[in-house]
Amino acid sequence: MAVKHRFFGTDGIRGRVGSDIINPEFVLRLGWAAGRVLSQQGKRRVVIGKDTRISGYMFESALQAGLSAAGVDVYLLGPMPTPGIAYLTRTLHADAGIVISASHNPYHDNGIKFFSAEGEKLPEETELSIEAMLTRPVQTADSRDLGKARRINDAAGRYIEFCKRAIPIQATLRGMRLVVDCANGATYHIAPNVFLELGAEVIVIGDQPDGLNINEGCGSLYPEKLREAVLHHRADAGIALDGDGDRVIMVAHDGKILDGDDLLYIIAGVRLQDKHAPEEVVGTLMTNIGLEQALNDMGIRLIRTKVGDKYVLEEMKRRDSRLGGETSGHILCLDKTTTGDGIIAALEVLFAVLQSGKTLSELTAGWQKYPQVMINVRVSRSISLETSEPIQAEIQKIENVLGKKGRLVLRPSGTEPVIRVMVEAEDQEMARTCAESLAKVIEGETV
């Protein structure tokens, strides 16, 4: 039976700044607790990076104080994408990495996420040990044993060079005009330089962070702004990252917006030319059925997991898969790095353009995205979807109508009292009719 965490969620600890757990006092204690657990294991070096939200300064100082009090040395990276922190954790031979970020959330949220020495998620037993240590009073190490702090001034340059190595050294983006939207987040001083140094002409937007504008009307959550810029500048492609740089959405020269499913299709296609062509791609319950069919046509299986890049990563490691991701733009290329990386995923896609001589729109023309309708049904009480006869009867009816030409996904939200109804079908109206019909039955069961 799985042990229930008190503080850690699927992606670290996250919440609104000033809440019970995302406040300076708690974060100092968290740094001390993590430091004590690590030092008991003989580990005494941690790197800390953050995105650009204003509360990052406060939490960086709190973590540093807590870790130092526990006798752990700290390497400060400053603003750095989440995948960059994972990379530098490995190359600096640190015992753990800490990310201060709430990813694609607005500025008033923040969070703390940990990486192991290998740049991967902390083992569950380590998280539980940290939670247990949090119940103890903070005890400062003897003065001679306090941890020291050092700022890594060339952290951005190290990560830029790592990203550039994602494509063959002889490859160049010379002749490409790109628009890069950094979401006023952690990639603002990194992503443009990666593409510039590879030879592209780069037009940058969303690169003026002020601590409050991260993800605000820009980046991967709002690709329409990037689309306008691509069309205005007559660019070959656009790249929209999120606040911590682990998601990417792209735009083709003609304004077509490409989500994570599109990008997985392109990357899988170009890798078919490689002697290590993928036999499978790992997606989620929300991955479009059209992608599944297109991959099958290429001889590649789609493996589905629960929604969340954590589950995609776990399944990829279990199956030793190299390519996976989510519709939201979390793309994992585990032969390149250990976690989702928006810059590296974008480079993989641009390399496909170079290899094929085709535009992004042409590269996605080989698959048909099924219309998808999502309805969130708010429920006032807990219901069993599996034992409700009216719900099960309606599900059977819809599945008979859809056959192999569509898909139904029904799942409760993990964060709010909502049942999510998702239907995919070849026809938008059919998808909508089926979704609304099931939503109505669920609402009737909760009265």
Residues labelled catalytic: 103
Distance between first and last Cα of the chain: 33
Distance CA 28, CA 153 (A): 24
Torsional class of 273: left (φ above 0), alpha (ψ -120 to 50), beta (otherwise): alpha
As given in the structure block, the two tokens for residue 413 are 């939200």
**What letters, b where the CB count within 10 A reaches 16 and e where it falls short, cover 187-198?**
bbbbbbbbbbeb
Task: Provide the 8-state DSSP code for 275.
Answer: T
**What letters, b where the CB count within 10 A reaches 16 and e where it falls short, cover 347-361?**
bbbbbbbbbeeebbb
Query: Which residues, 6+ apart, have CB-to-CB distance to 353 below 8 Å?
Result: 176, 236, 237, 359, 360, 363
Distance CA 56, CA 210 (A): 12
CA 358 to mean position of chain CA atoms: 27
HEC secondary structure over 284-350: ECCCCHHHHHHHHHCCCEEEEECCCHHHHHHHHHHHCCCEEECCCCEEEECCCCCCCCHHHHHHHHH
Distance CA 157, CA 250 (A): 24
Length, in residues, of the chain: 447
Considering only CA atoms, which of 360, 178, 372 is closest in space to residue 269? Answer: 360
Tell how strand 96-100 and strand 45-50 pair up: parallel
**What letters, b where the CB count within 10 A reaches 16 and e where it falls short, cover 300-310?**
bebbbbebbbe
Could you count the other beta carbons within 10 Å of the beta carbon of residue 447? 6
Task: Report helix, strand or coil for 128.
Answer: helix
